[in-house]
Amino acid sequence: MKFINSIGDKAKDTLLQSIAALLEKNPQSNLPKIVKMSKLLVSDKSSCDMIKDFETSYNEVPDFKAYVDDLINNTDYKILKNFIVNILGSNISPKKKNHIFLSENSSQPRSLIINSNSKNQDLKTLNYNELDKIISESRKMGIFAFIINGSELFSLNYLHNIYEKYSDSLFIPVATGNCIDDSLCKKILKCGNVIPLFPSKNSCSDMLRQNGIPSFNINYIHSLFKKAKFNNDFSNLKTFSLEFNDSTQNEFTTYSLLDLVKNKSM
């Protein structure tokens, strides 16, 4: 994603328009064309290496290829297109983007997984102020990537307020995708820091079923990246998971998050 900064504005517009067209026609079949086009347009070595690493992993690691193909095939087209075009053309400065990922030697987790339990699939009992406090404390600790695991999180307006307030943080909401429509796509598109994930319809290995509702197992994503040794910011994410239910919610929103992290195993 960083390679967009190494090409000129005219080439950037051409690249984004071409990617959008290729995604609309046949995203999976056109993925090699997108990679080839990107390789021709980039100039700096780190960006070239990143694209080559992706291409090698996609061609040589079956699990990684299956993950990418499933993501392309089973993610709503409007979300897939808007996310890729938006993230490549994002106006978030490289300095802000660098805040999202810390060095591998960091003793603190680099991403925070916020889970809702089966009784609280939509996080409705976790209000804006409580979630805002968690995000704010996490950022003070150097955590700028947040995975929010639940059901139809896109329908909650206050989450979009969180995305906009913390525009230099990365948010990965995990949902079934049943409520996606044009209006929600436009909201996500405007954010520029949101990566929506939906479960694969063709595979059970990456799924968890909670109270009859399927949800994506984020650990499956991590395991694929690690297995592929993919040179991507997600490959070595350390995480700390918060599980919200009636008995633990008060603890997470009352006490210092830093104290909780120190007292719990990573």
Using one digit for the tens of pLDDT, what is the confidence trace for 206-235? 444 443 333 444 444 445 444 544 333 433
pLDDT value of position 125? 55
> Domain check: are 183 and 232 in the same one?
yes
Which domain range does residue 65 map to? 1-91
* Helical packing angle, 27-41 and 9-25, nearest 10°: 170
For the chain, how many structural domains are there in total?
2
Ranges of the chain with pLDDT below 70: 1-28, 41-44, 46-47, 63-64, 67, 70-111, 115-126, 149-156, 174-186, 188-189, 192, 195-266
pLDDT value at residue 188:
67
List, in sequence order, every residue forming a beta bridge with 146; answer none if it has no partner: 112, 171
Residues 11 and 48 in one domain: yes
**Predicted local distance difference test score (pLDDT) of residue 91:** 36
Domain check: are 99 and 160 in the same one? Answer: yes
pLDDT of residue 29: 74
Neighbours of 16 (CB within 10 A): 16
- Residue 145 sits in the same domain as residue 105: yes
CA torsion 168→114→194→177, rounded to 10°?
A: -170
Claim to verify: residue 97 and residue 51 sit in the same structural domain = no
Cα(79)–Cα(186) distance, integer angstroms:
9
The DSSP annotation for 54-65 comes to: HHHHHHH-HHHH
Strands 213-216 and 111-116, by their bridges, are unpaired
Q: What is the pLDDT of residue 62?
A: 75
Per-residue pLDDT at 103: 38
Does residue 150 sit in the same domain as residue 250?
yes
* Predicted local distance difference test score (pLDDT) of residue 153: 53
pLDDT at 172: 75
Boundary-marking domain end, from 24, 56, 91: 91
Are residues 68 and 110 located together in one domain of the fold?
no
Q: Among 39, 73, 91, where does a domain finish?
A: 91
Please tell me whether residues 85 and 55 are part of one structural domain: yes
pLDDT in tens, 181-204: 566 666 766 776 776 665 444 333
**Percentage of the chain lying above the pLDDT 70 cut:** 30
Q: pLDDT for 142-155, tens place per residue? A: 777 787 766 555 45
Of 91, 122, 138, the one marking the end of a domain is 91
pLDDT at 204: 38
Instruction: Tell me the C-alpha to C-alpha distance, in Å, between residue 163 and each of 66, 157, 173, 237.
Output: 30, 10, 11, 20
Under 8 Å between Cβ of 50 and 2: yes
* Residue 132 sits in the same domain as residue 249: yes
Same domain, 260 and 163: yes
